[in-house]
Structure 1
């Protein structure tokens, strides 16, 4: 037996019929009917119930019943009539559970005894109709705004038709300690609603109405929250209630699939706590993983010379090509970059072409890609085993999953990495004597992400790969605002770092801004042991450093104790600097944008510096825009 999954129809876009179909196809067991969805539907409640049954779905909850209590006796009498009308609808729906919210109105009852008396009256009427009430504390309720207080009222009423509803957002948004959930009788928890959310400093009502998200997409500790729920003995559905402006206009099927995946991921997190129930979803564990071993860039024939020219400045040599697939291989010590000269169109979203060149594929070495394939499929991610062009590589040795619509992640076995390199069967020219490598690894890769894909990509990276998100930031540039979020995965051989950059309105060819005014969004950052020596080597190869404003270095001298001669060298080479206050330092510099959007970065990390020089982002963007 497994935990039943459910979702409120308010969480998805489209008509009620469209939502129900998507909910069933995503794998949910049931759903909550949000009253405005029913009121606007042309189908009668009995027809909705019949359609749900045809789809194999249960109707788990009807919601919401707001403001049932009142200090005005006439208003309360009218509220009882409203309750009877809702009971009528629920009977036709075949649903026996109604969500009752605490009241935020000035007329809300503020005496526990009177409130218990009124709720007892409603519970009596509900029981006569075979209906139960789940009482929920809204975080902004006038009198009842904590789950403990709501539970105390339910306990005082002591009626079989009245229980409580726990909502993670209303509890965690207030900073309440959820451990008290363990003290609630699980049989009296009638329903569980789950939502994640980013940390925001704003009115809790607006936070709730616009910025909820699925588990694994925000910052709440829902794993611990779920463990408390399990400990209480609750055995009902785990349901998602998400108010989110982006979700309400995103593709219904994709959002529903993300929603179901988020509940599976959450159950895995809860299962790591002691005394977890065996009903929790337990997917195959992540497979072994090492480091980024290759990057594939889509340039098309027009941009290919510019990409090759820039890679040459970075110390890469064109060492081979593929006879049938139009790929050019550039090597620098252990680093490999493949440039696809044939693909001239990638898509950031259906119908939205990406700016080229772009990062099309990230190759990561894994000890067992097949384990990742099994895990991805268990979580509902459409990963696939693929063969290597021109090789006899076993299909299980390369597993591909899409990170964005434009970029895939390839998990490669050691043998497949070698086979991939050997597939480049043409040596187009006599290679010049290789220069001494000064780049060591791929430090991080940043990807441009459309706004409506952001949360789904975040969930994918966290659920399948187990990546950890870090504090996000908004970077103001000369033409807008860039939202940036870094994620990391520590492996046996280092750290895999990805950064998601969301630039509303600037990820398609409909962009009204000419390329010269954009600045870069996507980039590949290579690591080095000595940024100054690396920059000097690149200058010797014809590299022209970005012209950083001298005002930046004046400010740098004021903020950090950088020796004057070092500061002069940094300025001459266009190197930016940051430090973390505990001995960690960060040196980094950039190429101009290649084509419309892509650029390269070289970074040197000293000590325990774990950031990305975020404080310098606006300076870099301004320099690239110039």
Structure 2
């Protein structure tokens, strides 16, 4: 099935150029048979055979070719052939013999395209004329054998490290058996302008390899070998890149070549499914840049409900903290024990039955965490259809206690990780929530509302969940990623990534994901004594809200006096404003455009969960990251 066919469904027509999908075996873990099974099951049409996988396989090349064909796959590329060119003519002659042997292997595989990389060796041909002669000789030999060569400029190539240089060499050779391989990582990691791709002759582009990556400043080889990721998981502008590729007239396979430490240890079936989904995401986003009509995500409102998996030990503290910041107990479900706390139509549900076990084996209790986020939507069915477009299963939803209830039939639930799901639900009302929470306090009254909604939700993810979750949030939900940050916390430095739906101050949904390293002893992620998971509630008046929370018994996380002395020195704030912030333990940040951010915190619950109250002004887009070290230190001091 082509990308056009797989993305065109019913009324949601997506005019995306048809493309053949392929993936390099190096992207996946396991044996070569494991990889091929996963690739075929995910829906790919083709595969790049990475030579080390073939060398390590017990199957002979002809037997492997039959096994690949039996799975409904084609072999699009055999790779890599390294260090062909050389200023040592004897070495080059030896390389040509090696090339013949690879053509023999390709005959058995039934593959006609070989990837040849530019050489990074000191002995690489430094003279373009010599390089043209040597690649010309290789191309002639390939033509005689019924093969073709795709020449790729490695980003760290000694003399050829730019796709434009490689394309010029190919043009100078002028043999139809020699073309270029365009690799998004090698081009974009160097900051090269990809616009010249559109001027390349279509028949000179033999192959396309795709990979995304987080923006990093490091050695290109190490960046490439360890930190590539799937389209939609990094920060490269692959949509713009593909615009130029398609403008050139390329109509060959879209193939993934992703070297990743995470993928080398991950379940190959899960990685392959995410990989195929990433190409669908890229095809959809590329459709917008090529003038085709893009199927934008359905409209979702803000966060309307959050379920905290607290467990029996932490549930009382979570409930009491919610009460102190303005959420009153509105009901308890007699069948499940779920507790509903409300601020107007914003619902917080505390689950006392289960928490997230992020502690060492045998440790008592579990840590509280956000387990479920509910978003308002007028069209749950459209979200279900969009999830299906990206092969994301919709989880079944039952009413509390497992009872049948028509009100939950419309809810669409998507699992972001094993521990976190997102519900797309019709706008809730007090009556809808109250129906499930049948034990209602006698004194329950409609409380005055303190909050305008949820500003953002902080969620922790393990390395195994990170890449897949980033892709799901970007593809299905259409969320945009901001530049990642390294944020200090109680047990080191964490990678943090903000994702938003909407724009700037008016963003509808904001998530701040933090990568939580796994414990080396296999006991799960370490507990974050400074807290990690949190919900930030938005208000219009930070001083009035802090005062109201204080009146309800909240003792906000105490911030050191030194912070406010420094704040007075570095910010142009009136002394009386600083005094108000000091009095209520409110932190402050401002950006270069005049935006301001005020926020205060509750104490951390069981080392993990806390709540935040924020106020944005003037288009501030950040999250007060500059204050993170102060918050973490304050939380540790309060806990110690």
- Per the normalisation by structure 2, the TM-score is 0.92
Are 1:305 and 2:316 counterparts?
yes
2:508 counterpart SS class = strand
Q: Distance in 2 between matches of 1:409 and 1:304?
A: 21
Out of 25, 44, 63, the position equivalent to 2:41 is: 25
- Greater Cα offset, 562-571 or 306-315: 562-571
Out of 476, 479, 485, the position equivalent to 2:497 is: 485
- Greater Cα offset, 483-492 or 5-14: 483-492
Q: Distance in 1 between matches of 2:191 and 2:356?
A: 47
Determine the structure 2 residue equivalent to 1:458: 470
What's the CA shift for 1:391?
A: 5.5
Q: How does 1:449-528 map to 2 (within 5 A)?
A: 449-490=461-502, 495-505=508-518, 510=523, 518-528=529-539
Q: Distance in 1 between matches of 2:25 and 2:351?
A: 43
Out of 336, 340, 344, the position equivalent to 1:329 is: 340
Determine the structure 1 residue equivalent to 2:282: 266
- Report if the CA contact (8 A) 1:354-1:508 is conserved: no
Q: Distance in 2 between matches of 1:370 and 1:590?
A: 37
What's the CA shift for 1:420?
A: 4.3
Are 1:38 and 2:82 counterparts?
no
- Report if the CA contact (8 A) 1:291-1:493 is conserved: no
Out of 237, 255, 269, the position equivalent to 1:253 is: 269
1:498 counterpart SS class = strand
Q: Cα RMSD between the aligned structures? A: 2.4
2:342 counterpart SS class = strand
| Structure 1 unaligned blocks of 5 or more | 277-281
- Report if the CA contact (8 A) 1:322-1:423 is conserved: no
- Greater Cα offset, 339-348 or 587-596: 339-348
1:423 counterpart SS class = helix
Out of 197, 204, 207, the position equivalent to 2:223 is: 207
Determine the structure 1 residue equivalent to 2:604: 593
Are 1:548 and 2:555 counterparts?
no
Determine the structure 1 residue equivalent to 2:616: 605
2:478 counterpart SS class = coil
Q: Distance in 1 between matches of 2:368 and 2:234?
A: 31
Determine the structure 2 residue equivalent to 1:403: 416
Post-superposition CA distance 1:519-559 (Å, at most 9, x none): 11000011111112211111111111212122211211111
1:18 counterpart SS class = helix
- Report if the CA contact (8 A) 2:373-2:423 is conserved: yes
What's the CA shift for 1:422?
A: 3.5
Q: Distance in 2 between matches of 1:355 and 1:122?
A: 63
2:406 counterpart SS class = coil
Q: Distance in 2 between matches of 1:371 and 1:531?
A: 37
What's the CA shift for 1:124?
A: 1.6
Q: How does 1:28-427 map to 2 (within 5 A)?
A: 28-274=44-290, 284-344=295-355, 355-384=366-395, 386-389=397-400, 390=403, 392-393=405-406, 397-414=410-427, 420-427=432-439
- Report if the CA contact (8 A) 1:96-1:132 is conserved: yes
Post-superposition CA distance 1:69-109 (Å, at most 9, x none): 11111101100110011111111111111001111112111
- Report if the CA contact (8 A) 1:546-1:574 is conserved: yes
Post-superposition CA distance 1:267-308 (Å, at most 9, x none): 1111112356xxxxx885411211111111112222221111
- Report if the CA contact (8 A) 2:356-2:368 is conserved: no
1:291 counterpart SS class = strand
Distance verdict in 2 for CA 1:154–1:418, change over 3 Å: farther
Distance verdict in 2 for CA 1:471–1:355, change over 3 Å: farther
Distance verdict in 2 for CA 1:327–1:512, change over 3 Å: closer
What's the CA shift for 1:410?
A: 0.1
Q: Distance in 1 between matches of 2:356 and 2:158?
A: 55
- Greater Cα offset, 566-575 or 455-464: 566-575
- Report if the CA contact (8 A) 1:441-1:526 is conserved: yes
Q: Distance in 1 between matches of 2:445 and 2:437?
A: 20
Determine the structure 1 residue equivalent to 2:547: 536
Out of 544, 559, 581, the position equivalent to 2:592 is: 581
Distance verdict in 2 for CA 1:511–1:322, change over 3 Å: same
Distance verdict in 2 for CA 1:171–1:511, change over 3 Å: closer
1:105 counterpart SS class = coil
Q: Distance in 2 between matches of 1:338 and 1:567?
A: 35
Distance verdict in 2 for CA 1:95–1:607, change over 3 Å: same
Q: Report the count of equivalent residues.
A: 616
- Report if the CA contact (8 A) 2:311-2:366 is conserved: no
| Structure 2 unaligned blocks of 5 or more | 3-17
Q: Distance in 2 between matches of 1:339 and 1:615?
A: 31
Distance verdict in 2 for CA 1:512–1:12, change over 3 Å: closer
Q: Distance in 2 between matches of 1:268 and 1:9?
A: 24
Determine the structure 2 residue equivalent to 1:561: 572
Determine the structure 2 residue equivalent to 1:444: 456
What's the CA shift for 1:385?
A: 5.3
Q: Distance in 2 between matches of 1:484 and 1:542?
A: 32
- Report if the CA contact (8 A) 1:231-1:275 is conserved: no
Q: Distance in 2 between matches of 1:212 and 1:140?
A: 15
What's the CA shift for 1:417?
A: 5.7
1:271 counterpart SS class = helix
Q: Distance in 1 between matches of 2:76 and 2:566?
A: 60
Distance verdict in 2 for CA 1:205–1:353, change over 3 Å: farther
